[in-house]
Amino acid sequence: MIRRGKVTITDIAKHVGMTNMTVSRALNKPDKVKPETRERILAAASQLGYVPNAFASHLRSRKNRLVGLVTASVDNPFYSEVIKAISRSAAQHDYTIMLIDTDGSAELEAVAIETLLSYQVAGIILSPVSDDAGYRPAYLERLRAAHLPMVMIDRILDVGDFSRVVLDNHHAGRLLGEWLVRQEVGQVLALTGPSGSRITQDRMAGLVAAYEAAGKTLSLEQRPGDYTLQPGYRDMSAYLAREPPPEAVFGFNQLITLGAMRALHDAQIDWDAVKVVGVDRLPYADIFDVSVPCAAHDTYRAGHEAIQLLFERINDSTSPVREVVIAADLV
């Protein structure tokens, strides 16, 4: 016996002895079916307890009014304002967002792209799982073959045929380096993203450049992580287990910085004993009387620029590839 709520068009077709196509037309385009056939199918659907898939119907009715948004980590606070900006701008243009979180998995990212292609989205905004120069996912050729507009944001792939919105990561590193120089800090523990990440490399280069420009000596130790909280906590804890606290800790994104601060708290190290700086704003830190200098980017603007670049390509496939750079401010 078919459970109520699980009845499909195939079940109805078998029940009335007709094809799936005829049943589908009766349910979705009733004017295309003879009245007696339509009534028989509708009666069978009611008898069996058929419940139409409203979501699928919505997608069908909005074909090519969908925009895919693929991000490596929805739980990263950096993306909350990005997603808000994209969603609001899409709604203003009568588009719907399909958001997919790949959780940092290259396999899930490939599945996400295939899923969006199958839904015939109008375009895709992508923050890849990696910005390592050697990361060249196979789905790039699928997107090119489909002539599907795509815009990359934050992390970008090492290709030149897609528009992108990027952060000025060198500038962010330099801003914080200059602040550390002014504080006469000579020793820095840098808790970073993957060592092969261009974001990591640019932020590190900016930090070093600030010391070189000031003619100051820098004792720098790098602990690569993956831009999430747990590695930041782990590496900070491991450092404190074998070394005295460093003069300063530089968290390469918000989650890493929070992980380091949690480790310092658990080790009962006074906030005045270690200077903590980081990329990305730390909201609500002032509630706990903690001041953390941050190189903060306008993430809402980043999302807004990304969707505008995508609309450019959707509306005109010959529009040139563009790059928008978002600079940080010291806050």
CATH of the domain at 46: 1.10.260.40
Contact between residue 210 and residue 242 where contact means Cβ atoms under 8 Å apart: no
185 & 277 share domain = yes
Asked if the structure places residue 115 within a domain, the reply is yes
Q: What is the pLDDT of residues 160-190, one digit of tens each?
A: 999 999 999 999 999 999 999 999 999 999 9
Q: Whole-angstrom Cα distance, residue 112 to residue 10?
A: 27
Q: Look up residue 126 and give its two tokens.
A: 């992508």
Between these two residues, 283 and 38, which has the higher pLDDT value?
38
38 and 119 together in one domain:
no
User: Residue 151: inside a domain, yes or no?
Assistant: yes
Domain shared by 278 and 293, yes or no: yes
Total tally of structural domains belonging to the chain? 3
Q: Pseudo-torsion of CA 300, 301, 306, 308, nearest 10°? A: 120
- Structure letter (DSSP) for residue 150: E
Residues 228 and 241 in one domain: yes
Residues 174 and 261 in one domain: yes
Q: Is residue 2 part of a domain?
A: no
User: Do 263 and 326 share a structural domain?
Assistant: no
Q: Domain with 316 in it: what CATH number?
A: 3.40.50.2300
* Residue 57 counted as domain residue: no
Segment 239-298, tens digit of pLDDT:
999 999 999 999 999 999 999 999 999 999 998 899 999 999 987 777 777 889 999 999
Regarding whether 74 and 37 lie in a shared domain, the answer is no
Choice among 31-35, 308-312, 325-329 with the minimum mean pLDDT: 31-35
179 and 292 share one domain: yes
Residue 202 and residue 155 in one domain: no
What pLDDT shows up at residue 2? 45
Tens-digit pLDDT profile for residues 298-312? 999 999 999 999 999
Q: Are 158 and 188 in contact (CB under 8 A)?
A: no
Residues 117 and 222 in one domain: no
Residue 63 pLDDT exceeds 80: no
* Residue 152 is assigned to a structural domain of this protein: yes
Which pLDDT belongs to residue 4? 45
Contacts of 32 (CB under 8 A, 6+ apart): 25
In a domain, 320, yes or no: yes
Question: Cα(66)–Cα(98) distance, rounded to whole angstroms?
Answer: 7
pLDDT in tens, 256-267: 999 999 999 999
pLDDT at 283: 78
pLDDT band at 67 (very low <50, low <70, confident <90, very high): very high
**Residues of the chain with pLDDT > 70: what percent?**
95
Which residue intervals of the chain are DSSP H helices?
A: 9-16, 20-28, 35-48, 54-61, 78-92, 106-118, 139-146, 169-182, 198-214, 229-242, 254-266, 299-315
293, part of any domain: yes
Residues 30 and 69 in one domain: no
Least confident interval from 9-23, 29-43, 52-66, 235-249: 52-66
Is residue 36 assigned to a domain?
yes
CA 5, distance to chain mean position in Å, is 34
Q: Print the domain residue range for 255.
A: 169-297
Whether residue 21 has pLDDT greater than 50:
yes
Answer yes or no: do 102 and 203 share one domain.
no
Mean pLDDT for 55-60 is: 58
Convert the pLDDT of each residue in 68-91 to its tens digit: 999 988 778 888 899 999 999 999
